[in-house]
Amino acid sequence: MSISSARENLQAAVRTAETEAVILERHGTPAAVLVSPAQYDKMLDALEEKEDVAAFDAAMAEEGDSIPWSQVKADLGWE
């Protein structure tokens, strides 16, 4: 949907965005995406999960001595 069309039919664009992403185009080139708040939250959650997995993988790939779980609990005062 062109930006000018979305401007003229904003209610319809928002209604459509409730069920599917609306790609807004400027001169035929994608310029923005209109999504519902629920879909936006899902996308943010998925991105955060992906980042957490990447951070975990990077931490596991680090070389060096591991700290035993019993030591971690003791250091945190959990025992």
Total domain count, the chain: 1
What is the SS3 assignment for 54?
helix
Residue 19 lies in a domain: yes
Classify residue 11: in a domain, yes or no: yes
| 78 within domain boundaries | no
Asked if residue 6 has pLDDT above 90, the reply is yes
What CATH number is attached to the domain comprising 45? 3.40.1620
> Per the domain annotation, does 69 fall within a domain?
no
Evaluate whether 1 touches 25 at the Cβ level (below 8 Å).
yes
71 within some domain: no
CB 41 within 8 A of CB 47: no
Domain that holds residue 55: 3-63
Residue 1's pLDDT band (cuts 50, 70, 90): very high
Per-residue confidence (pLDDT) for residue 57, from 0 to 100: 94
Q: What is the pTM of this model?
A: 0.68
Q: What is the DSSP string of 17-33?
A: HTTS-EEEEETTEEEEE
**pLDDT tens-digit readout, 11-60:** 999 999 999 999 999 999 999 999 999 999 999 999 999 999 999 999 88
- For residues 41 and 54, what is the distance between their CA atoms, to the nearest angstrom? 20
Query: Are residues 27 and 37 in contact, defined by beta-carbon separation less than 8 angstroms?
Result: no
